Amino acid sequence: MNALITGGAGYIGGTVAHLLMEAGHRVVVYDNLSHSQRPSVPAGSAFVEGEVGDRKKLEAVLRSHPIDAVLHFAGLIEAGESMQFPELYFSNNSASTLVLFQAMLATGVKKLVFSSTAAVYGEPETTPIVEEAVLRPTNPYGESKLLVEQMLSWLHRIHGLRYASLRYFNVAGAIAGRGEAHEPESHLIPLVLDVALGRRKSIRIYGSDYATPDGTCIRDYIHVRDLAEAHLLALAALEDRERMIYNLGNGQGFSVRDIIAAARRVTGHPIPVEECPRRAGDPAILVASSEKIARELGWRPRCSGLDDIISDAWRWHQVRYAAREPSVAP
């Protein structure tokens, strides 16, 4: 199969590209390198630098290779930033994705795996969250992804586009040569490990008065390899299934303090804490039920232990910064 991966130079898209090539598929990475660098493009893939909103370039790529299926990862992912600049999220995540869909329809590509998010649920009424739960995002990031899911439903109904929409919870961990890194960094586990590496003085906890056992937000963490393997299963299932929506998570909730405690155990570093006010748009608890994908596609996370997930991330971060001088951030 020839697969186009938008955002394929990134953390998740690059991991999926790596596993697809391991399985014998041919991969074209399409990325604007705004949040990654050229060396991050997986070895062995073809690479095209471009914007998802560039329909002319997308159509040229889809026709020239030719492409059998698209896996769409490109987009903005910061819920907090979306509360400051919602227009960026609707432009990048919703409007540009519609351009991608138009290019796919124009070139006859009818299979898509879409990188969605647990943020489409907002504040859940019950946990663990099932796919049939009310969709009520509390930030523009989640809303921008929900708009895409709504587009997909109509494009499937009218044009026969086959798709799998995979709603991620918190992705962490690493595989050999590829781990989680953003510039600037905003995700909890890399930030905590930066403290252990001496690159930051402390870790900030945003809100300690939530209605949770220790007052901090609770999230479901899934290993990036488990997440990537779910994409391969969903892609294969599009041969027989026309439309799929699945949660991808561990089914276990860990608080911010749980993450910090696990990182202290794994790294042996004290990891000082700075308590700060809540951030707008952060739900208290997001924990997945992934029973649907387990039942229908046979997927189960194989690395579900928090210490194991953080250990993989820690090994990658140590290698990443081994040759660098530490730069201490607040």
Catalytic residues: 141
Answer for the pair 192, 263: CB distance below 8 angstroms, yes or no. yes
Judged by DSSP in three states, 285 sits in strand
Block residue for tokens 């690059």: 14
**Strands 221-223 vs 111-117: parallel, antiparallel or unpaired:** unpaired
Q: Report how far residue 281's alpha carbon sits from residue 137's, in angstroms, rounded to the nearest whole number.
A: 9
Answer for the pair 171, 310: CB distance below 8 angstroms, yes or no. no
Q: Report how far residue 144's alpha carbon sits from residue 89's, in angstroms, rounded to the nearest whole number.
A: 6
- Burial grade of 274 (CB within 10 A; 0-12, 13-18, 19 or more): exposed
Element (H, E) at 150: helix 140-159
**Strands 285-286 vs 218-219: parallel, antiparallel or unpaired:** parallel
Amino acid at 32: N
On the CB side of 278, CA atoms within 13 Å amount to 12
The tokens describing 34, both together, are: 């705004």
Answer for the pair 205, 261: CB distance below 8 angstroms, yes or no. no
Q: Kindly report the length of the chain.
A: 330
Count of other CB atoms within 10 angstroms of residue 130: 15
Answer for the pair 32, 56: CB distance below 8 angstroms, yes or no. no
Nearest to 252 by CA among 306, 296, 310: 306
CA distances from 3 to 40, 236, 292 (A): 18, 12, 25
